[in-house]
Structure 1
Amino acid sequence: MLDTPAGARGPEDLQDPHGETRAGRLTAWGNALLGGFAPPDDAAAAVTGRDEAHRVAGLPGDADGDRHALTWALGRLRALGATGFRLALPAPGHPLGLTGPPEFNARALEAGEAVLTVGGPALGLVPEVAWFGPPGDRSATVLWHCSPVREAPPADVPTLREAERELAEGLREATAVLARLDVAGAGPEALRALEAYRRRGHRELLAPGYPPRAVRVLESAQRIAALLAIAAGGHGAAVSAGEMAARAGVLRPLERTARRAQVAAYNAAVDERGDDGPR
């Protein structure tokens, strides 16, 4: 993403090569668990993914040094009254999905992602990723730091309907921008990136219990984000520093639109909930 904060996660820190964050998976599968759509062990395994292990620290009542397995921690959050989770994907100058306080926001901004609980005490979780192993065969452990957050509407999160409308406009604009930047004619590196995106094939998005519109919105948002990442990676016709800066200025609003839509999609299990559950 264009707004990735300095010192935050790099490509290898992402949960998968398509850009799904660990906070996104915790939000989706945590909502599936709390909504009765997935058993605890399946939800925890889906969140952990390719990582070695996930643990949680800082839950209410914890002593210093307490570390809990993810399955236990999710059960503890449910016992405390949590009924759902929301995703935050903040970037510099854009605290998307956050509610404060400043200390929590700073930690979430450094990580580039966070999860906030819905129901029960207002809590936020931020992942700390530790990598080990030789290059090409690395694995990770994740420690989720839990701390109190403010009870307030999350910053700048659109509804699914708003996100879908913004994405339709953004996709048209992204297509025009990519054509103007001549990404497809930028050489073998750009062509390989485009081909890898096209070949990624179908994959399951979100988790059981999400409304179909949320899946559509997330798929469109990730498509735009992937194409913009290719355009922002130095491919295309722009070669000078000034041209690269101009390119970033053009792409940044589209990146923000895609990020807002991703948050809306992941949060749909709680924000789009009807009387009988998610729609």
Structure 2
Amino acid sequence: MLATPSENPYEEPRSGRLTAWGNALLNGSASPDDAAAAVLGADETHRVTGLPGDTEGELHGLTWALGRLRVLGVKGLRLALPAAGHPLGLTGPAAFNDRALGAGEAVLAVGVPLGLVPEVEVFGPAGDRSATVLWRCADVNDAPPADVPSLHEAERELADGLREATALLARLDVAGAGPDTLRALEAYRRRGHAELLAPGYPPRAVRILESARQVSALLSIASGSHGAAVSASEMAARRATLAPLERTARRAQVAAYNAVVDER
């Protein structure tokens, strides 16, 4: 089955892995094989199609595709995390933006106007699932990406966002929430500190990405916490409160992944 955009705040977007490790390869901080293995992660396979010069339906492995992008003149990669009404990191055209919005993510090349969108197919029984990923490459507009902040802007916004998200969670009746919310809260409290980003990224970007994930985790808990007595109007008000904080967290993630390119 085709996967929908992930809502797990602890799961790194595949486009994030491709951006981070593709940049590490392009700037000489990682070997082609190490970069490809890191992008693959726990997935079964990743293939790339639609690169300039490809015949229709031609497929390539990650190592070859990353090398081909470098030969084509790609100098770096940038992450996009669009959502409805917010084309974060995209440049157009509309057809590419629509595919990226459907996936909830995309990667845009720097130096050559190309973009890649993942199509993820999940298979296997619950608890033992894996995935295959097909990256479709297409032309994009050579234009500034939409609404991407600098690291400084993202850091300032996150400081306020983390305080607001923490205060919001404290106001909720988490003790009276359902088991899914309580499991999410426990997962947040016991979350691991896996290595973020890839070699060559500045420590500030790593800190900002960790803070963005904290905000996303808190918002995920808050949105799933129904408490003992929450009316429909209260839930609507909660969603309205969460929406700008969720946007702040996504903007910060994009700024962190793009730091190697944008902060040069």
The TM-score, its normalising length taken from structure 2, stands at 0.95
Residue type of the alignment partner of 2:88: L
Residue type of the alignment partner of 1:79: V
SS of the equivalent of 1:85 reads strand
Residue type of the alignment partner of 1:23: S
SS of the equivalent of 2:96 reads helix
Report if aligned partners of 2:32, 2:63 keep a CA contact under 8 Å in 1: yes
Which deviates further from its counterpart, 233-242 or 152-161?
Answer: 233-242
Residue type of the alignment partner of 2:65: A
Residue matched to 2:254: 263
1:223 aligns with 2:214: yes
Residue matched to 1:4: none
Distance 1:122 1:237, change over 3 A: farther
Distance 2:243 2:174 in 1: 16
Residue matched to 2:109: 117
State the Cα distance separating 1:238 from its structure 2 match. Answer: 5.5
* Stretches of structure 1 lacking an aligned partner (at least 5 in a row): 1-6, 274-279
Residue matched to 2:196: 205
SS of the equivalent of 2:137 reads strand
Distance 2:229 2:135 in 1: 40
Distance 1:19 1:223 in 2: 12
Residue type of the alignment partner of 2:49: A
RMSD after superposition: 1.5
Alignment equivalent of 1:159, drawn from 150, 158, 178: 150
State the Cα distance separating 1:178 from its structure 2 match. Answer: 1.2
Distance 1:238 1:227, change over 3 A: farther
Residue matched to 2:4: 8
The TM-score, its normalising length taken from structure 1, stands at 0.90
Distance 1:237 1:227 in 2: 19
Residue matched to 2:162: 171
Report if aligned partners of 1:184, 1:190 keep a CA contact under 8 Å in 2: no
Alignment equivalent of 2:29, drawn from 19, 37, 60: 37
State the Cα distance separating 1:234 from its structure 2 match. Answer: 3.7
1:180 aligns with 2:137: no
Report if aligned partners of 1:190, 1:236 keep a CA contact under 8 Å in 2: no
Which deviates further from its counterpart, 239-248 or 200-209?
Answer: 239-248
* Stretches of structure 2 lacking an aligned partner (at least 5 in a row): none
Distance 1:238 1:32 in 2: 49
1:73 aligns with 2:65: yes
Residue matched to 2:20: 28
Distance 2:114 2:139 in 1: 4
1:214 aligns with 2:227: no
Residue matched to 1:63: 55
